[in-house]
Structure 1
Amino acid sequence: MPEHSGSLRMSDDRLRMTPGPTEVPAAVRERMSEPMPNPDVEPEFFAFYRDLLEKLEGIYGDDDIAILGGEGILGLEAAIASLVEPGDRVLCIANGLYGEGFADFVEMAGGEAVVCDAPWREPLDLEAIESHLAADSFDVATMVHCETPTGVLNDIEPILEVLDDHDVISVVDAVSSLGGTPVPTDKIDVCLGASQKCFSAPPGLTVCSISDRAWDKIESVETPSLYTDLEPWRDAAEEEWFPYTHLVSNLYGLDTATDLLLEEGLEHVFERHEEAAAHCRDRAADLGLSLYPDEARPSPTVTALEIPGRAQAVQSAMADDHDIVLATGLGDLSDDVLRIGHMGHNARLDRVDRTMDALAAVLE
């Protein structure tokens, strides 16, 4: 029977080494094909949801967990919409695109965003952060653990300690690090993750942990929103009521993806990511390529390589000639940085080698 003229055929051999969405294992895809219950009325589904929350506690820790129906950016917006009201002051700590982007959400919520930004090639500026906190009062502070546009893993623990000393609620975008490298979730008030990164499930779900201190603040805010309001999720599982119809098939996929992580063991998962990242960086050095921004703070989930003025051409050649999908930089780095994602299911040496062999051929 002929294919529909509008269908899109995907190569089974295509390797997608992007920093999310990541490769989805067969077990996750198969789980998502199971019959779908009505998540609003069938008690069995609520029992499943509570069980999934308990599994996620094995990755997050003891804080309350909520799973929202929407891609990871939903979590960033929901955290700010739920915590910030007009008159609140928010310290947006940044050294990259996503760190800076928190300020937009703050302004949308009517808060005052104070951006403490460092150049993209520099680490987060702890001294400047301390100066801001000493000079002014803040209700909330935001930052990013892994800035995927630059391949940087930020050292956030010293900053979290300073924020706690000043009784400032912390919001951390750990979307590209959670499940791939240790995240100090016990020190974070709202820690944001997403299904399509290190979990290796399809896009569509935000996962977040919320501390008691954050809940107290959330419950004091009058949020004129439904979809981005975190407050209803505090008792959703126990009361067997969701603020909107949940994404059943995506939740099934996340459940199996979480099982795979926990069965492998988080320590082994983290080691696998470190080994894949180190191997990728070694192979890049053999090709004479430099890391962006430097070798001091590379993420174990994504490697950014400097290829000035050629990144898009190399990206195209990798896809056209070798069936390997990579990402370029964002913004001003769109043609100067090539990004290789080795996160989740793709954090494996054989996949890194196939990618780097092809990159060597393209560069030659």
Structure 2
Amino acid sequence: MKGRKLLMIPGPIEFEPEVLQAMGIATNSHVAPDFINVFGNCLELMRKVWKSPKGQPFIVAGTGTLAMDMAISNLIEKEDDVLVVSSGYFGERFKDILNCYGANTTLLEAPIGEAVSVEAIEKELKNKSYKAITITHVDTSTGVLIDPKPIAKLAAKYNVLSILDGVCSVAGEEINQDEWELDIVLTASQKAIGVPPGLALLMASEKAMKVWKNRKTVVSNYYADWKNWLPIMQAYEARKPSYFGTPAVNLIVALEASLKIINKEGIDNRIKRHQLLANAFRKAINALDLKILPNSNDIAANTLSAVYYPESIDGVALRTKIASSDVIVAGGLLSEIKNNYFRVGHMGSVSANDLVSVLSALERALIALNYPIASGRSIQVFQNEILKN
């Protein structure tokens, strides 16, 4: 790319030109009729992406962590028992948030690179009565993908609320919220949704909204309280002005642009594209004799890849060499092994050409650091895999 580097981290990602153009328009009033219509369109388009025609969408200025905080603060009360299913850094974050609200948390944690089994989850649900279970669909720190469908079925079986952290999965991994009976699916704008950072996005089921309405204590978070935000969402969807806090006007205009792009592609087609590119990229990485962090392809995310450095290669030196080829990848995040691996984001508007650029930069960096590989090997494997489809 001329003039700037290709950003291939797990968020923020590369954004479509139409989205960036929408960001750059003159800022409108948050109660102007045309902006109210944009906001209402976003709420309706979210239901299509989430596959949740019955869900209640929320769009709030903030981060993915705010979306997590919003889910917990509105649904969980002090002394509630909550089961946290963790496959990395962000499972632990759920536990930290729950502790802030006085919940009794039980952490089911998988070894690094593995996923907690459905059998272990059901055993825990059988032995104890929980109000909710939290699931990290894709943990950005490890690249481990959890299948939420069987876990959501268990939650429904044991009458437990299911809260899915979809920050690194919504619009990149398969999600059928209503069909799978997921009560909360949350995300952030800067991942596969394809909008610059700054929006917390959340979809609540009818069951979740009922639990919130029937809670015994007040929500102990003023900004996140659905009591303040639900009337705003309802008003904007009815194309009426309302106010609680000033929305991120330009980001929401950009969100509409991106949601339109997603729905034009078709959410099922978009998921298949992510799966195709991720599978080809993993095979290319394997062709360089590099190992991914998830212990099998079955639990490897389609939105990012976490890759171990070769033992003989300094990680900082490798990423520096890659950056010199105008490609930016991310270092490790999981504290126990953060110096042992790097991460490549491949979500949103990512193309095969983007990943060829990553592989080319990676190969040059490895060769410059005297790692024994055949030049062009990973690109050949990647291209052959793409051409099969």
- Cα distance in 2 for partners of 1:231, 1:138 equals 25
Q: Can you list the C-alpha shifts for 1:160-208, whole angstroms capped at 9, x where unaligned?
A: 1111111111111011111012113122101001110002210000111
- Cα distance in 2 for partners of 1:194, 1:11 equals 29
- SS of 1:235's equivalent? helix
- SS of 1:290's equivalent? coil
TM-score after normalising by structure 2: 0.87
Aligned-residue sequence identity (percent) comes to 28
Q: Which stretch shifts more, 251-260 or 275-284?
A: 275-284
The residue correspondences of 1:47-86 to structure 2 (distance < 5 A) are 47-60=37-50, 61-62=52-53, 63-86=55-78
- SS of 1:343's equivalent? coil
- Cα distance in 1 for partners of 2:20, 2:275 equals 26
* Residue in structure 1 matched with residue 379 of structure 2 by the alignment: none
- Cα distance in 2 for partners of 1:51, 1:191 equals 19
* Residue in structure 2 matched with residue 276 of structure 1 by the alignment: 277
Q: Can you list the C-alpha shifts for 1:55-91, whole angstroms capped at 9, x where unaligned?
A: 1111012111111110111101111111111121111
Q: 1:11 Cα deviation (Å)?
A: 6.6
* Residue in structure 2 matched with residue 6 of structure 1 by the alignment: none
Alignment counterpart, residue 96 of structure 2, candidates 94, 104, 117: 104
Alignment counterpart, residue 360 of structure 1, candidates 354, 358, 363: 363
* Residue in structure 2 matched with residue 25 of structure 1 by the alignment: 16
* Residue in structure 1 matched with residue 305 of structure 2 by the alignment: 303
* Residue in structure 1 matched with residue 254 of structure 2 by the alignment: 253
Alignment pair present for 1:350 and 2:344: no
Alignment pair present for 1:227 and 2:223: yes
CA spacing shift, 1:312–1:218, aligned 2, 3 Å: farther
Does the 8 Å CA contact 1:275/1:349 hold for their aligned counterparts? Answer: no
Does the 8 Å CA contact 2:322/2:362 hold for their aligned counterparts? Answer: yes
- Cα distance in 1 for partners of 2:219, 2:24 equals 36
Q: Can you list the C-alpha shifts for 1:120-156, whole angstroms capped at 9, x where unaligned?
A: 2222222222122111111111010011211111112
* Residue in structure 2 matched with residue 323 of structure 1 by the alignment: 326
- Cα distance in 2 for partners of 1:311, 1:184 equals 38
Alignment counterpart, residue 236 of structure 1, candidates 207, 229, 232: 232
Alignment pair present for 1:174 and 2:166: yes
Alignment pair present for 1:214 and 2:215: no
TM-score after normalising by structure 1: 0.92
Alignment counterpart, residue 90 of structure 1, candidates 82, 91, 109: 82
CA spacing shift, 1:158–1:342, aligned 2, 3 Å: same
Q: Can you list the C-alpha shifts for 1:321-357, whole angstroms capped at 9, x where unaligned?
A: 21111012111222111111111112x1111011101
Does the 8 Å CA contact 1:141/1:168 hold for their aligned counterparts? Answer: yes
* Partner amino acid, structure 2, of 1:201: V
* Partner amino acid, structure 1, of 2:267: L
Stretches of structure 1 lacking an aligned partner (at least 5 in a row): 1-9
* Residue in structure 1 matched with residue 194 of structure 2 by the alignment: 200
Over the aligned positions, Cα root-mean-square deviation in angstroms equals: 1.7
Q: Which stretch shifts more, 350-359 or 272-281?
A: 272-281
Does the 8 Å CA contact 2:187/2:201 hold for their aligned counterparts? Answer: yes
Alignment counterpart, residue 125 of structure 1, candidates 83, 104, 117: 117
- Cα distance in 2 for partners of 1:126, 1:74 equals 28
Q: 1:294 Cα deviation (Å)?
A: 2.2
* Residue in structure 2 matched with residue 3 of structure 1 by the alignment: none
- Cα distance in 1 for partners of 2:221, 2:265 equals 39
* Residue in structure 1 matched with residue 370 of structure 2 by the alignment: none
Alignment pair present for 1:144 and 2:136: yes
- Cα distance in 2 for partners of 1:293, 1:43 equals 48
Aligned residues: 352
- Cα distance in 2 for partners of 1:133, 1:172 equals 17
Does the 8 Å CA contact 2:8/2:328 hold for their aligned counterparts? Answer: yes
Q: Can you list the C-alpha shifts for 1:25-74, whole angstroms capped at 9, x where unaligned?
A: 211111112222221x4344323211211111110121111111101111
- Cα distance in 2 for partners of 1:24, 1:207 equals 18
- SS of 2:349's equivalent? helix
- SS of 1:291's equivalent? coil
- Cα distance in 2 for partners of 1:231, 1:141 equals 23
CA spacing shift, 1:167–1:98, aligned 2, 3 Å: same
- Cα distance in 2 for partners of 1:207, 1:129 equals 27
Q: Which stretch shifts more, 288-297 or 195-204?
A: 288-297
* Residue in structure 2 matched with residue 4 of structure 1 by the alignment: none
- Cα distance in 1 for partners of 2:172, 2:264 equals 14
- SS of 1:222's equivalent? coil
* Residue in structure 1 matched with residue 339 of structure 2 by the alignment: 335
Stretches of structure 2 lacking an aligned partner (at least 5 in a row): 236-240, 368-389
Does the 8 Å CA contact 1:311/1:335 hold for their aligned counterparts? Answer: yes
- Cα distance in 2 for partners of 1:248, 1:233 equals 16
- Cα distance in 1 for partners of 2:146, 2:93 equals 16
Does the 8 Å CA contact 2:114/2:295 hold for their aligned counterparts? Answer: no
- SS of 1:178's equivalent? coil
- Cα distance in 2 for partners of 1:201, 1:281 equals 26
